[in-house]
Amino acid sequence: MPIGEDAIGASLFEVQVDGVTIAQFKEASGLGIEISVIEHQENKPGGIPVLKKLPASQKFNDVTLKRGMTKDDGWWKWIAAVQEGDIDGSRRDASIILLDYLHHEVLRFNLFYCWPSKITLGSLQAGSTEVAIEEVTLVHERVEVKVS
């Protein structure tokens, strides 16, 4: 009896910015590509109408990253550079890498020309037993998906 492949766990991933792995992320969401559709109606020989669908412009979803806050203030410095108007100097390349159970790379989303458009600090509450959560939204201009 053939054995099927195991599904990949959603908990095994890493985040890299400019080739440097950044630790402690609890969530990465929004990875995706959307291609607009051009509908083109034409006639085949004999006057038979045909509706063709052609690819048009591509849209790349914003990516949201969440992690427990540490003393590392890199995200805050990065968005401060954007606030100051240094967009060209703020663009970075990033990767979200999905790993298998042996921690080998399975799928890589390379995001190009990223910059943070939003950063928030989660709820703070006296008496809480949870860590403070940073949430960063990265916008980007292109996604390249590589399957290992």
User: Is 7 within a domain?
Assistant: no
> pLDDT at position 2, please?
59
Report the CATH number that the domain containing residue 107 is assigned in CATH: 2.30.110
CA-wise closest residue to 110 among 122, 126, 93, 98: 93
> pLDDT at position 43, please?
94
**One-letter amino acid of 101:** Y
* pLDDT beneath 50, residues of the chain: none
User: Is 2 within a domain?
Assistant: no
As for how many domains the chain has, the answer is 1
> pLDDT at position 23, please?
74
User: Is 105 within a domain?
Assistant: yes
Range of the domain at 108: 13-147
**Exposed, middle or buried, 103 (CB in 10 Å: 0-12/13-18/19+)?**
exposed
89 sits in which H/E element: helix 87-90
> pLDDT at position 148, please?
87
